Amino acid sequence: MRIIFWGAAQEVTGSMHEVQTNQARILLDCGLLQGKRQPTYERNSHFSFKPEDIHAVVLSHAHVDHSGNLPTLGKQGFGGTIYTGEATVDLCRYMLADSASLQERDQAFIERRWKRRKDIGMEVGAHAVPPLYTLEDVTRIMGQFSPLKYGQKREVAPGITTTLRNAGHMLGSAFVQLELRENGRTCRVLFSGDMGRKGLPILRNPEQAPAADYLILESTYGDRLHPTLSNAKEKLAEYIGRTIARGGRVIIPAFAVGRTQQLVFLLHQLMVESSLPEIPIFVDSPLALNVTEIFRRHPAEFDYEASQFLKDGKDPFGFARLRYLRSAEESKALNDLRTPFVVISSAGMCEGGRVLHHLKNGIEDPRNLILLAGYQAEHTLGRRIAERQSPVPIFGEPYALRAEVAMLDELSGHADQHDLVQWVRPIAKSLKKIFLVHGEPKAQQALEELLTREFAIPVVCPERASSCEI
């Protein structure tokens, strides 16, 4: 038996790990690597194995850094089944289609700019990279999904059974229990996926980890502790209030799945409490609008507070001053507004989507605020903005960063160092080894040292394409 780490190995995005036995090969996740266009395109478009040799995929959740390269896998020959949670199937139908559309639109935009530059004799640079996949590829791969309920045990390949448990990271997110059987021997592997936190808005808390022989553990925030969740709502009100007071607009890049719904729920609470000025609030993401409908279909995953909203006859994701924008024309109309407003728009790491147009039109105005409400991976535009680099490239053009930049780390859907250690603690005695993935080297090193000190278990931070016998 063997585990090969194909992605999210000493990096955060592109989650993909292969589990092999003498009878079968499966993937845990098949995510998009995000970052610089050309290098990421090369990685995302070329697998280091034959996709047709993979028997099945077990998908932890719908975020594109975990699910977003499934259409490419299918396009290149994978014909097996994708096992994942019920809500994740619903989410992927929209998220993968949105990913395909974004790639096509970004290519068209960059090619139009390339032609304009060429026509006036400017330096043109490289052509846009082609889309990895099309909407037709997405439709095809969605036919290979098979939903699982939390706690349901299923044989996903010969000699490999899986059980999904609630990870509390986003709607439908799961950590994965694998039971591998080979030559009369059984091995238990636990894959955390992205581990959530206790007390996040809307979602129920993560389930307790079951005993396992090997643990593949995310380490995104392995070197830090999150600010207290209870401060999130007050900070949100403070940031918005001071920006509106100086006549600016608040631009919030946010993942369309999870983070947008959390922000809307908190803004709804602030409106109920009369803690926000009477300003318009926009959600500018067709994907977020579709995803919000999926949230409404899965109230069983809601925590007590969100469930109470429903019980009282209120929509957690809708209120009088909130407007969801679907068309491009509605989105462009925001550029003409001369009064303060708040806009929540995807993508969360500023690597595509309508938020790029809002940044392009607002980043150079010092009255405005760019409020980053989630993790910003290395080499992304969001990371450059978080580090206050200036100028920053948007659609290949440099823009001076004059707007205020603030972080709302309280809403992170990832467990922090303390959360991760506490999640491992009850099963530490059963573990033979821990593999740290989905983290940058600095975060992984800090968590490796702490886990080794706390539990005296071998901890490894595998490099990409490295493998380990289990």
pLDDT one-digit tens code per residue, 384-414: 999 999 999 998 899 999 999 999 988 988 9
Domain co-membership, 250 together with 317: yes
Domain CATH code at residue 73 = 3.60.15.10
The number of folded domains in the chain is 2
Last residue of a domain, one of 410, 428, 443: 410
Confidence of residue 75 (pLDDT cuts 50, 70, 90): very high
Task: Report the share of the chain in percent with pLDDT over 70.
Answer: 98
**121 and 176 belong to one structural domain:** yes
The verdict on 420 and 336 lying in the same domain is: no
Give the residue from 410, 438, 461 where a domain finishes.
Answer: 410
Same-domain check for residues 158 and 293: no
Write out the residue range of the structural domain in which residue 144 sits.
2-224+413-469
Can you read off the two tokens belonging to residue 155?
């044989």
- pLDDT tens for 286-301 read 889 999 999 999 999 9
If asked whether residues 193 and 263 sit together in one domain, one would say no
Three-state DSSP class for residue 451: helix
Q: Give residue 352's Cα distance to chain centre.
A: 13
pTM of the predicted protein model: 0.86
pLDDT of 35 reads: 77
Average pLDDT, the chain: 94
Mutual orientation of helices 304-311 and 259-272 as an angle, nearest 10°? 60
The DSSP annotation for 191-230 comes to E--S---TT-SSBPPPPPPPP-SEEEEE-TBTT--PPPGG
Note whether 47 and 159 are same-domain residues: yes
CA neighbor of 2 nearest in space, from 137, 175, 182, 126: 182
Q: pLDDT category, 230, cuts 50, 70, 90?
A: confident
Eight-state DSSP code of residue 133? -
- Pair (160, 65) in one structural domain: yes
The H-or-E segment that residue 111 falls in is helix 86-119
Q: Are residues 142 and 193 in the same domain?
A: yes
Given a cut of 70, whether residue 127 has pLDDT beyond it is no
Same domain, 235 and 133: no
Share above pLDDT 90 across residues of the chain, in percent, rounded to a whole number: 83
pLDDT of residue 388: 97
